[in-house]
């Protein structure tokens, strides 16, 4: 009994330990000026955005047991709906502004968040009722569900292209000076906002999953859906909650991505899909905390790679990490052997 | 009046029919054991009663009410709880959270019941905060029982609670089951350890190839030469 518990703790400790060692190596390399600390730091902010998508993807995988390929395009949709509000609807009713505090964006962004979240949650649950639930009740395989979500992804991207065209857009913004830190680390103020919001959301999710009845039911359903039903948990309602939370995180992640990149493209979410999956697999499929750590690793690695490689290869780096993980440790850093 | 009455239940998975018209009755406060060879449909019978494998024909009545094919998450509201044979705990949740999930449908304060269950199964009380996945086999089985007890059910369906346990643990699990029954809970027990299970049962059923083969008082089945030869290892 004690031995089993000890083994369990060691396994947990080993995973955290390997992450800490990795972090120490990165910092050491930065201080030896092999890699630029600035890239490491800004990589963490990119990682925070990837995390918002990856956590939702991981939750969906844990509960519904399929890879939601449309997740990147959910993020794009969130970003573009933000463009509609900030660039059209809000100015139309006199809500305008840029350069709020040290940031490039204006105060209307804060008003946009709740509306965008509402729309994305409605779309996610609507798709579940109209498409995924029907398939679920027919007991189709997870490959069919994943392929269906690929179809949804293409449809969403097509819709965005029809409405906004293929060209590059921007949120109304005012250029702002970067913050200067020691060791030539320059950080755009927007990134600090992104980081702070991501930390807040992860904290809120953690409290939801560990402190609330529905959060615990979600973890239970992720562990074993049949036993959850046997316990009296309405798993269909748990599935809706999962969609709602994942869509909320995707909506916010999409807006933050548009702020981070200072541009919107119909392909932006599709491009981030591989980093999302790489983060999920790296952290251990179905484990939201693993997805967070995985996303930070992907973000830093992708950003640091630009020191030697064309930034266009960022996705390739994420893909490489995903393949290496699948070859060496398919259950991910925090995954427990089945 | 029978607490549970199963009559002529036909059920299976997809095209494969496993139960070809099985009947069973349980009175209040009884322990009823179902024995039979592997693949005779014992587990499917429990799943069918609990709505996990909805019956295609036949009827399941609980306290006179027709509950045939009702969804499991609704079934627990009626006073029935079910413990599957395997995967019967939530491994990534703590012991305490597992029990909270057992009481999920209760929106009132269930802490009194929680303490009662811990008193009934004291092995678990010391490990409340531990992940259920870190428990030993015997403790897992206790936790599975405890989860199902949280709603204070009238009838408990247990699918091979002694499966895969060391002999000394098997006895302690049966002791707990007897204790639960003495507290007033009727139990339907599906078991491989036929001798021990029949020994504590009021009534026993022998199932073969998805059909009722024999039924009698527990002690009579233990003496039945055919049962001894086929299921009690001579």
> Which domain CATH number covers B158?
3.40.50.300
Query: What SS3 class is residue B21?
Result: strand
Going by their DSSP bridges, the two strands B211-217 and B203-208 should be labelled as antiparallel
**Average pLDDT across chain B, whole number:** 93
Cα–Cα dist A74/A53, whole Å: 9
pLDDT tens per residue, range B8-33:
999 999 889 999 999 999 999 999 99
Q: Is the pLDDT of residue A35 over 90?
A: no
pLDDT tens per residue, range A103-137:
999 999 999 999 999 999 999 999 999 999 999 99
- In angstroms, what separates the C-alpha of B92 from chain A's closest C-alpha? 7
> Tokens 């039911």 appear where?
A217
Candidates A216, A299, A208, A209; CA nearest to A253 is A299
* DSSP secondary structure letters along B65-115: EE-TT--HHHHGGGTEEEE-SSS-S-TTSBHHHHHHHHTTT--S--HHHHH
The answer to whether position B124 is within a domain reads yes
Cα–Cα dist A282/A325, whole Å: 6
Look at A338 and A253; give whichever has higher pLDDT: A253
Q: Is the pLDDT of residue A264 over 60?
A: yes
pLDDT of residue A18: 80
pLDDT tens per residue, range B177-206:
999 999 999 999 999 888 889 999 999 999
Domain count, chain B: 1
pLDDT of residue B192: 87
> Tokens 């074993």 appear where?
A224
Q: Which two tokens stand for residue B21?
A: 């018209």
A33 Cβ under 8 Å from any chain B Cβ = no
Q: Is the pLDDT of residue A10 over 80?
A: no
Is-contact A47 A295, C-beta < 8 A?
yes
Average pLDDT over residues B82-107: 96
pLDDT of residue A147: 96
pLDDT tens per residue, range A172-195:
999 999 999 988 899 999 999 999
Cα angle for residues A161, A239, B95 (degrees, 5° grid): 140
The answer to whether position B24 is within a domain reads no
Q: Which two tokens stand for residue B31?
A: 């322990």
Q: Is the pLDDT of residue A11 over 80?
A: no
Q: Which helix (H) or strand (E) holds B73?
A: helix B72-75
Confidence category of residue B150, pLDDT binned at 50, 70, 90 = very high
Average pLDDT over residues B206-229: 91
Confidence category of residue A144, pLDDT binned at 50, 70, 90 = very high
pLDDT tens per residue, range A209-237:
999 999 999 999 999 999 999 999 999 99
The answer to whether position B38 is within a domain reads yes
Q: pTM value?
A: 0.93
Could you tell me which CATH number the domain at A36-328 has? 1.10.3470
Partner residue opposite A216 with nearest CB, options B100, B135, B147: B100
Candidates B98, B208, B196, B194; CA nearest to B149 is B98
Please count the other Cβ atoms lying within 10 Å of the Cβ belonging to residue B27: 14
Going by their DSSP bridges, the two strands B57-62 and B31-35 should be labelled as unpaired
Most A CBs within 10 A among B13, B79, B92, B159, hence the mutation to make, goes to: B92
Cα angle for residues B136, B137, B143 (degrees, 5° grid): 85
Q: At what angle do helices B167-182 and B111-120 cross, to 10 degrees?
A: 130
Inter-chain contact A5–B76, Cβ cutoff 8 Å?
Answer: no
Partner residue opposite B93 with nearest CB, options A213, A216, A229: A216
Inter-chain contact B84–A8, Cβ cutoff 8 Å?
Answer: no
Q: Which domain range does residue B185 map to?
A: 29-50+69-231
Cα–Cα dist B79/B50, whole Å: 11
Domain boundaries, chain A: 36-328
Q: Is the pLDDT of residue A54 over 90?
A: yes
């Amino acid at each position: 009994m004690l031995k089993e518990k000890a083994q369990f703790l060691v396994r947990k400790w080993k995973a955290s330990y390997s992450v800490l060692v990795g972090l120490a190596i990165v910092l050491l390399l930065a201080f030896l000026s092999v890699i630029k600390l600035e890239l490491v730091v800004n990589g963490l902010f990119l990682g925070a955005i990837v995390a918002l998508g990856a956590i939702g993807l991981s939750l969906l995988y844990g509960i519904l047991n399929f890879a939601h390929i449309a997740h990147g395009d959910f993020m794009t949709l969130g970003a573009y709906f933000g463009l509609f509000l900030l660039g059209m609807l809000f100015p139309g009713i006199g809500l305008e502004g840029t350069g709020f505090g040290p940031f490039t964006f204006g105060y209307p962004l804060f008003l946009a968040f709740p509306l965008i979240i509402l729309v994305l949650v409605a779309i996610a649950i609507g798709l579940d009722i109209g498409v995924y639930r029907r398939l679920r009740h027919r007991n189709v395989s997870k490959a069919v569900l994943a392929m269906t979500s690929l179809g949804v992804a293409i449809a969403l991207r097509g819709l965005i292209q029809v409405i906004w065209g293929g060209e590059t857009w921007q949120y109304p913004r005012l250029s702002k000076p970067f913050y200067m830190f020691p060791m030539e680390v320059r950080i755009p103020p927007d990134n600090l906002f992104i980081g702070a919001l991501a930390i807040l959301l992860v904290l809120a999710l953690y409290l939801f999953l560990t402190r609330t009845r529905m959060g615990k039911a979600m973890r239970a359903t992720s562990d074993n859906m049949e036993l959850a039903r046997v316990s009296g948990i309405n798993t269909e309602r748990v599935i809706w909650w999962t969609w709602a939370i994942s869509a909320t995180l995707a909506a916010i992640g999409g807006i933050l991505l548009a702020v981070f990149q200072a541009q919107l493209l119909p392909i932006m979410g599709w491009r981030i899909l591989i980093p999302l999956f790489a983060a999920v697999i790296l952290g251990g499929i179905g484990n939201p905390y693993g997805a967070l750590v995985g996303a930070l690793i992907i973000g830093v690695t992708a950003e640091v790679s630009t020191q030697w490689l064309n930034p266009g290869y960022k996705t390739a780096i994420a893909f490489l990490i995903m393949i290496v993980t699948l070859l060496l440790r398919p259950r991910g850093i925090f995954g427990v052997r089945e | 009046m029978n607490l549970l009455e199963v009559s002529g239940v036909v059920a299976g998975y997809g095209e494969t029919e496993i139960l070809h018209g099985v009947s069973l009755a349980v009175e209040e406060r009884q322990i009823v054991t179902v024995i039979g060879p592997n693949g005779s449909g014992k587990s499917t019978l429990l799943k069918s009663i609990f709505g996990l494998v909805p019956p295609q024909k036949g009827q399941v009545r609980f306290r006179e009410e027709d509950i045939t094919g009702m969804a499991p998450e609704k079934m627990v509201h009626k006073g029935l709880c079910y413990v599957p044979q395997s995967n019967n705990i939530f491994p990534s949740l703590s012991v305490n959270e597992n029990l909270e999930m057992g009481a999920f449908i209760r929106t009132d304060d269930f802490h009194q019941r929680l303490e009662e269950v811990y008193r009934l199964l004291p092995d678990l009380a010391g490990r409340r905060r531990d992940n259920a996945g870190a428990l030993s086999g015997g403790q897992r089985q206790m936790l599975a029982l405890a989860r199902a007890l949280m709603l204070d059910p009238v009838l408990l369906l247990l699918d091979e609670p002694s499966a895969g346990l060391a002999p000394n643990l098997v006895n302690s699990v049966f002791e707990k089951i007897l204790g639960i029954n003495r507290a007033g809970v009727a139990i339907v027990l599906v078991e491989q350890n036929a001798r021990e299970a029949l020994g504590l049962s009021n009534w026993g059923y022998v199932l073969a190839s998805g059909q009722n083969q024999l039924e009698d008082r527990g002690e009579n089945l233990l003496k039945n030469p055919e049962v001894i030869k086929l299921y009690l290892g001579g």
